[in-house]
Amino acid sequence: MFIDKSKIKVTSGAGGNGIVAWRREKYVDKGGPAGGDGGKGGNVYLVADNNLSTLLDFKYRSIFSAQNGDNGRSKNQHGKNGEHIFIKIPCGSIVKDNETGKVIGDLVKDGQKILIAQGGRGGRGNARFATSVKRAPQFCEPGEPGIGRELEIELKLIADVGLLGMPNAGKSTLISVISAAKPKIANYPFTTLVPNLGIIKTPDGDGVVIADIPGLIEGASEGTGLGHEFLRHVERTRILAHILDIFEDDPMKNFEIINAELQKYGGRLTEIPQVIALNKIDIVNEVKADMLKEEFENRGYSVFPISAATAKGAKELVDYLIQKIDEIPPPVFDVKVEEDEIAFDHDDSEFFILKEKHTFTIQGGKIERLVSVTDLRNQEAVYRLQNILKSMGVDDALKRENIKDGDIVKILDYEFEYYNEEN
């Protein structure tokens, strides 16, 4: 099954929390704070892999999560960092952020890698807050959250040669003859429903990738037939081999129809050089074939009469394609990749206040994480929490909600009685 568009959800690992701990060992005077830092969360990467030619894997798995960092430990031990994950995608994949629509990656080379979600930083343990004045800090930091996002991946096959032609022009037969590809072949239109890739071995041992693009018909650039879905796979080829069924009544008209669709689609398609393959010479009289060959040559095209069914003329066509591939430089893709700030955005300081009679429930990632690592039995830790919440604007937000002394402020499962220090 060929799938060339897919959506995936990824989440980087959250950083582990720092901890509050103390060094208590025999013969160690005034051991002091010994809470270690939390480990860093794992990153999420996309990696281009030459061995893949479809996004089929994402049909069965579309949610990926990196490992969280471990919490810090006593004796100043650092929590274990979370493991990164590397998601393999085919070369030629364009990556978009689903929310913003921005293109954040264009992976064309094998092994090319991009970071799409950075793991959260680990929180600091209380040992990191010790100073000459504050020798016994009673607080620590929570780890940063992971980054969750949805991505859209669009595959544009990277092939050296693209085969164009009307349905039943003989493209699938030709690719089966000149490469090891085994496409489905039948005597009815739209036999080929997905692009087929084949490899042509060159004399020096390299391979030329050839793509059989499903049949185009008039109106393909507007979505008629199959062509519109797969025209984007032609964009990254170096040369196009236009296969014409000369057994048809008017092969020249078919040629004009397909080229008109390429013009309508636009982009690189109008610039890619074409070579003409006049197919089915085994069942057409030589006069018709010679007339067509002369007409195309007068237009400046290189022309090869072939029979895909018998392989007649196929070697000459392949030799020419290999020669042209050596002469034509790889295309430069005009894909505007934008800076991806979301991959590094761990800010979850936004909060909401839900009011119900005299109870004000505060919800927010950072606030909840701060409360979860605060020892609310320790006055010093509570004072620090209050100062942080005030600097985040929580106090002002509560006042805008008309909170009164004696009202209840609830965060997670903890409840606090509010009083205004300014009164």
- pLDDT computed for residue 224 by the predictor: 43
Element (H or E) spanning 295, and its range?
helix 286-298
Taking the C-alpha atoms of residue 330 and residue 235, their distance in angstroms, rounded to an integer, is: 12
Taking domain 161-327, whether its CATH number is 3.40.50.300 is answered by: yes
| Both structure tokens of 374 | 């605060």
- Over 274-293, what HEC string results? EEEEEECCCCCCHHHHHHHH
**Closest to 284 (Cα-Cα) out of 250, 248, 260, 320:** 248
220: pLDDT strictly greater than 70: no
CA 317 to chain centroid: 37
Distance CA(123)–CA(20), nearest Å, equals 11
pLDDT bucket at 227, cuts 50 / 70 / 90: very low
Closest-CA residue to 56 (of 8, 103, 14): 8
Residues 6+ apart with CB under 8 A from 382: 374, 376
Q: Provide, for the chain, the percentages of residues in helix, strand and coil under a 3-state DSSP scheme, each rounded to the nearest 5.
A: 25, 25, 50
Position 182 scores a pLDDT of 57
Alpha-carbon distance of 85 to 94, in angstroms, equals: 19
Report the pLDDT value the prediction gives residue 354, as an integer from 0 to 100: 96
CA neighbor of 111 nearest in space, from 89, 84, 94, 96:
89
List pLDDT tens digits, range 10-56. 999 999 999 999 987 776 666 789 999 999 999 999 999 988 878 88
Q: What is the largest CA-CA distance in the chain?
A: 106
**Are 161-327 and 352-417 in the same CATH fold?**
no
* Architecture of the CATH domain 352-417: 2-Layer Sandwich (3.30)
Confidence band for 265, pLDDT divided at 50, 70 and 90: confident
Rounded Cα distance between 108 and 331, Å, is 11
Round to whole Å and give the CA distance between 365 and 103: 28
Across the range 331-341, mean pLDDT stands at: 81
- pTM: predicted TM-score of the whole model, two decimal places: 0.78
Lowest mean per-residue pLDDT among 7-16, 115-124, 224-233, 255-264: 224-233
**What SS3 state is found at 52?**
coil
Compute CA distances 299 → 140, 259, 291, 293, whole Å.
Answer: 77, 14, 13, 10
Q: What is the mean pLDDT of residues 128-157?
A: 91
Highest mean pLDDT among 130-134, 149-153, 248-252: 149-153
Q: How far apart are CA 300 and CA 282, in angstroms?
A: 25
- Give the tens place of pLDDT for each residue, 186-209: 343 444 445 677 777 777 767 788
Separation between Cα atoms, residue 262 and residue 252, nearest integer Å: 16
Q: Look up residue 280 and give its amino acid.
A: K
For domain 1-155, give the fold: Spo0b-associated Gtp-binding Protein; Chain: A, (2.70.210)
Contact 97, 148 (CB under 8 A): no
Domain ranges for the chain, please list them. Answer: 1-155, 161-327, 352-417
Q: How far apart are CA 348 and CA 335, in angstroms?
A: 31
Are 384 and 371 within 8 A, CB to CB?
no
In this structure, the chain runs to a length of 423
- Measured CA to CA in angstroms, residue 141 lies from 118, 134, 145, 349, 390 at distances of 19, 16, 12, 14, 17
Answer yes or no: are the C-beta atoms of 180 and 199 closer than 8 Å: yes
Model confidence pLDDT, tens digit, residues 114-141? 999 999 999 999 999 998 888 889 999 9
CA 409 to CA 89: how far, in whole Å? Answer: 48
Measured CA to CA, the distance from residue 12 to residue 412 in angstroms comes to 24
Q: What are phi and psi of 201, to 5 degrees?
A: -75, 130
One-letter amino acid at 283 equals: I
Nearest to 240 by CA among 211, 263, 279: 211
